[in-house]
Amino acid sequence: MTAAGISALLPLLVLSGGIVVLLMVVAWLRSGAVAFVGALVVLGATIVVTPLALGTGTQDIDGLLEIDGYALFFHGLFAFAAVATAVLSYRYLKPRAAHAQEFYILLLVATLGAAVTAATDHFAGFLLGIEVLSISLYAMIAYPQEGRGPLEAAAKYLVLSGAGTSTMLFGMALIYLVTGTLEFAPAGELSRNEQLLLAVGQAMLLIGVFFKLSLVPFHMWTPDVYQGAPAPVTGFVATVSKAAVFAVLMRYALAVGVVDAEVLRNVIVVVAVLSMVAGNLLALLQVNIKRLLAYSSIAHMGYLLIAVVVAATPQVRSFGVETALVYLAGYVLMTLAAFGVVTVLSDADEDAEDLTAYDGLFWRRPVLAAVLAAAALSLAGIPLTVGFIAKFYLVAAGVDGAAWILVWALIVGSAIGIYYYLRIVFAMTKRPEAGTQAPPVAWEGVISVVVLGASIVVLGVFPAPVIDFVRALGGP
Amino acid sequence: MILAVVLLLLAAGVLAWASERFVGANAPRVVSVLAFAVGLAWAISEWLGGPAATGLYAAQHIEWIPRFGISVALSMDGLSLLMVALTMFLGIIAVVSSWDEIETGHGFFQFNILWVMAGVVGVFTAMDLFLFFFFWEVMLIPMYFLIAIWGHENKGYASMKFFLFTQISGLLMLLAILALVFVHFRSSGEITFSYEKLLGADVDPAIAMWLMLGFFAAFATKLPSVPVHTWLPDAHTQAPTAGSVILAGILLKTGAYGLIRIAVPLFPQASMDFSFWAMLLGVVSILYGGFMAFSQSDFKRLVAYSSIAHMGFILIGVYAFNEVGLQGAIVTMVAHGFSTAALFMMAGALQHRLHTREMSRMGGLWVHAPRMGVMTLFFVVASVGMPGLGNFVGEFLALLGAFGKNVPLAVAATVGIVVAAVYGLYLMQRSFQGTPNPDVAAMPDFGARDMSVMILMAGALVWVGVYPQPVLELAGATIATLGVLP
């Protein structure tokens, strides 16, 4: 491996080295605070070295990893999301888990898994990354000691995510059978039978990915897991694990040309449309904010598939990738902000998941309410928020790539979506009953959601720096 | 300078919100009035200063998102100036008229008013379609809050309906904007949202029709025109007085402005082909709005339906495709802003005093409040289209224009004026005249503050009615540059 290769690997090296060091430290110092600070230091260092790695250009690491601007974008994004998750979890976990050292290490491992997933063009790396991510997540979801919600959610996630992975693995095996390589590469000349086999393999791979992205009709587990998992972990699952899987899907689709195959393209379009429509329609029925956000994330993943479909057209390829990156950046910010507010408002006994818990929040806690309103309006795609820029990108990409069915589904989906996002905002504007006292909340949690909320608005008004940055990265 | 004014309103909004906590409950209202006064003074000084050689009173251009050729391009010609001045004036009126109505959350209330108006000023001056859409949506959220928080008994339903209608039609416009941009991109190789550049886009006629309909959907919903008008009676009825004043006086005008500035000039041929249907919708709005107004028992709802009828005149004026018609549409925009805003203030004042909007619980109020009676009579008569007042000039010109384009439709629209007289006088009769309602023992009359606001509005209507020349000149300068007339 060259020196350039090593410097390209810096974020991953810092992250994995940090995990090892932290493991040893907490073996001596059984303290949640030390693990928390240690995790922040490791993640901070990861964020710092990511720009250094950017200077090296695309580096292929033994065929297993492909460190390019695209991968490093996700490394930075995941580390950022992990910082927010760690900060939000600290006070949240105190009453729920007596010793929370391992939680932060699991968080780092999950981040590492996600980072590997986003940086691989090889099935081995793909599987490795995704499993490291998922297995850490099972433990993180089940972390609180009390209550059956987390345990139930973890079991459900374990079973269904495992089913997804095995489907994917079978798909990979079939693809390997035909192409003879584990790398993401287009197949050469194939006979009729081989073509069929490849299509089946790719379809199985896609089904596994759809499971992980919780796209309709493979979404059944999502609301239950989102509801049962501890709120900060739900935020992490909804952002980092989704973005990682999406990153590798995009890479695979572009490298292999999955979307070029008429059948598979149609499958993706149908799944996208179903997710947008069903996700939004089912969200309408929810009275639990975690379930509502679960259905909304299903719809958002459906929107994102537009970028994958569009990027298959050669002249729109780079625009499609750009769209996906801008959208994911915005999506991560607004989803983290929404779950962050849920976390901060949760008390020692239960999560603030009932929509009625938000009645009159504007008058009780104007700052948190403003952040949640910004997040909800951003998810709905209203201007002045980054969600609008993201949605604008998707519509533009859809129009440019002439994906009219998807664009119309996006419009219909957004129209339905506005209704339930506004319901959150409306609940917060209600007059509170006299004498309701606002319980104290964690100040560090408030700061982190305010930072998230502010970045939603700032990037919504001045998106040019992010756009220029993303364009400079280049595609996978 | 225009951007500075928009930012001034936005900053004043934040200041007003903060001032409630740090200064007192009165401070937000004062901040708000001062901000609008500065804006009005600026608009008038630009007017008196006269246009530059380009025909613009002010213009600005700052790069915003170069990736998509999006810039903060703002400019103010005659039409924009007229609308901006009206916005600032009605801003003052809206704040003063709801001085005593709002009991809680003064700071946030004024914040929302100022932010709506900032969005409106942006819409009236934007010269970039992305920016236009941006401001179009910026108006929406604060208006939603105004209705949802300070509205009356059924505010949740009304605010949601308002938001959904506007937002969905807005998405159609966004789609049309993007499609236009990419059509232009394919033919010219330049990606841009600039209004001036897109004016010259070479669009296939079949596609142009679809794109035009996308814009038309958004503007017709905002205007509103039958059949997408159903949000308006609910929103108006439930909104607090200041919200109704802004909604009727200004927000509806952004729909009309959009038709004149965007939909017709960008797609002149498609608009011409569509003109019969648009005029038909206008006539249906006039008649339907009139008949519905007559069958209301709620004071505010009646005025709301009458708005739909008045907006119909704008539609037929714009799509008559002649100078007279367009002039009529623009004068109607201004005059309707004054007359309907005043009637909504009256409805608000009555509700504040009687805690009802039902006309069956009014009657003979003149006995208790002669000053309110006189002012109501004045604005009812204005709204009905009495010669000598602004609405008459506007509607007369719009009808004249329509007559040159399509005689049967113009005749049908004229029937609307008769209907207007019926519901207008019916409103007056049920509320202020007739047998005094025994349930209403006494009712405080307008004080000096309310009267001065009313007299200002009345004066403006008389001015537009008797000497409309300045308005016609401002509008005429713009019409000449739009290049839509054959």
Strands B58-65 and B70-76: antiparallel
C-beta atoms of A414 and B171 within 8 A? yes
A395 contact residues in B (CB cutoff 8 A)? 174-175, 178
Beta-carbon pairs below 8 A across chains A and B: 68
C-beta atoms of B174 and A400 within 8 A? no
What average pLDDT score do residues A98-110 get?
Answer: 90
Q: Which residues, other chains included, contact B368 with Cβ-Cβ below 8 Å and sequence gap of 6+?
A: B436, B440, B442, B443, B445
Q: How does the average pLDDT of chain A come out, rounded?
A: 90
- Write b or e for each residue in A355-389: b if 16 or more Cβ atoms lie within 10 A of its Cβ, otherwise e: bebbbbbbbbbeebbbbbbbbbbbbbbbbbbbbbb
User: Chain A closest CA to B408's CA: distance in Å?
Assistant: 38
A383 contact residues in B (CB cutoff 8 A)? 133-134, 137-138
At residue A436, the pLDDT reads 61
A203-253 residue pLDDT tens: 999 999 999 999 989 999 999 999 999 999 999 999 999 999 999 999 999
Q: Which residues, other chains included, contact B122 with Cβ-Cβ below 8 Å and sequence gap of 6+?
A: B6, B74, B131, B132, B134, B135, B138
At residue B178, the pLDDT reads 92
Place of tokens 């906590």: B21
Q: Is the model's pLDDT at A1 over the cut of 80?
A: no
Give 10-residue mean pLDDT values along chain B (486 residues). Answer: 91 89 85 93 91 85 89 91 93 86 84 93 93 91 89 88 89 92 89 89 88 93 90 90 90 92 90 92 93 90 92 92 91 92 90 86 84 91 89 92 90 90 89 83 84 91 91 87 75
Nearest to B66 among A363, A395, A464 (CB): A464
Complete DSSP assignment for A319-330: HHHHHHHHHHHH
Structure tokens belonging to residue B422 = 């019926």
Could you give the 3-state DSSP secondary structure of residue A367?
helix
Burial class (CB in 10 A: 0-12, 13-18, 19+), B153: exposed
User: Chain A closest CA to B116's CA: distance in Å?
Assistant: 13
Nearest to A418 among B105, B156, B167 (CB): B167
B246-260 residue pLDDT tens: 998 899 999 999 999
Structure tokens belonging to residue A84 = 């927010």
B134 contact residues in A (CB cutoff 8 A)? 383-384
- Residue B162 has φ and ψ, to the nearest 5°, of -55, -50
- Residue B62 has φ and ψ, to the nearest 5°, of -130, 135
- B 156-175 residues inside an 8 A Cβ radius of A: 156, 159-160, 163-164, 167-168, 171-172, 174-175
Nearest to A415 among B133, B149, B168 (CB): B168
Interhelix angle for B299-318 vs B231-238, to 10°?
140
Give yes or no for a cis peptide into A217 (omega within 30° of 0).
Answer: yes
C-beta atoms of A383 and B137 within 8 A? yes
At residue A434, the pLDDT reads 62
Structure tokens belonging to residue B196 = 């001036």
Q: Is the model's pLDDT at A476 over the cut of 80?
A: no
- Write b or e for each residue in B49-69: b if 16 or more Cβ atoms lie within 10 A of its Cβ, otherwise e: eebeeeebbbbbeeebbebbb
At residue A283, the pLDDT reads 93
Q: Give dist(CA B249, CA B463) in Å, integer.
A: 17
Q: Chain-centre distance of CA A310, in angstroms?
A: 20
Q: Are A200 and A167 in contact (CB under 8 A)?
A: no
Q: Are A237 and A274 in contact (CB under 8 A)?
A: no
- Find which of A364, A382, A411 to mutate to test the B interface (most B CBs within 10 Å of its CB): A382
- Write b or e for each residue in A130-153: b if 16 or more Cβ atoms lie within 10 A of its Cβ, otherwise e: bbbbbbbbbbbbbbbeeeebbbbb
Q: Which residue of B has its CA nearest to A420?
A: B160
Angle, CA of A134, A137 and A140, to the nearest 5° = 165
Q: Which residue of B has its CA nearest to A411?
A: B171
Angle, CA of A176, A180 and A185, to the nearest 5° = 80
B141-174 residue pLDDT tens: 899 989 988 888 888 899 989 988 988 899 899 9
Q: Which residue of B has its CA nearest to A413?
A: B168
At residue B200, the pLDDT reads 81
Q: Is the model's pLDDT at A122 over the cut of 90?
A: yes
Single-letter amino acid code for the residue at B113 = I
User: Chain B closest CA to A105's CA: distance in Å?
Assistant: 40
Structure tokens belonging to residue B54 = 């380009």
User: Chain B closest CA to A467's CA: distance in Å?
Assistant: 7
* β-bridge partners, B194: B128
* β-bridge partners, A211: none
Structure tokens belonging to residue B312 = 């119909």
Q: Give dist(CA B70, CA B62) in Å, integer.
A: 9
C-beta atoms of B149 and A415 within 8 A? no
User: Chain A closest CA to B402's CA: distance in Å?
Assistant: 36
Interhelix angle for B27-49 vs B2-22, to 10°?
160
B104 contact residues in A (CB cutoff 8 A)? 431
B160-217 residue pLDDT tens: 899 889 888 998 999 999 999 999 998 888 889 999 888 888 888 888 999 999 999 9
B164 contact residues in A (CB cutoff 8 A)? 415, 418-419
Nearest to B138 among A384, A407, A429 (CB): A384
Single-letter amino acid code for the residue at A291 = R
- Confidence band, pLDDT 50/70/90 cuts, at residue A310: very high
Nearest to B175 among A382, A395, A471 (CB): A395
At residue B88, the pLDDT reads 94
Structure tokens belonging to residue A473 = 């990265």
C-beta atoms of B67 and A467 within 8 A? yes
C-beta atoms of B178 and A396 within 8 A? yes
C-beta atoms of A382 and B164 within 8 A? no
Single-letter amino acid code for the residue at B264 = V
* β-bridge partners, B73: B61
C-beta atoms of B167 and A415 within 8 A? yes
Place of tokens 């709801």: B98
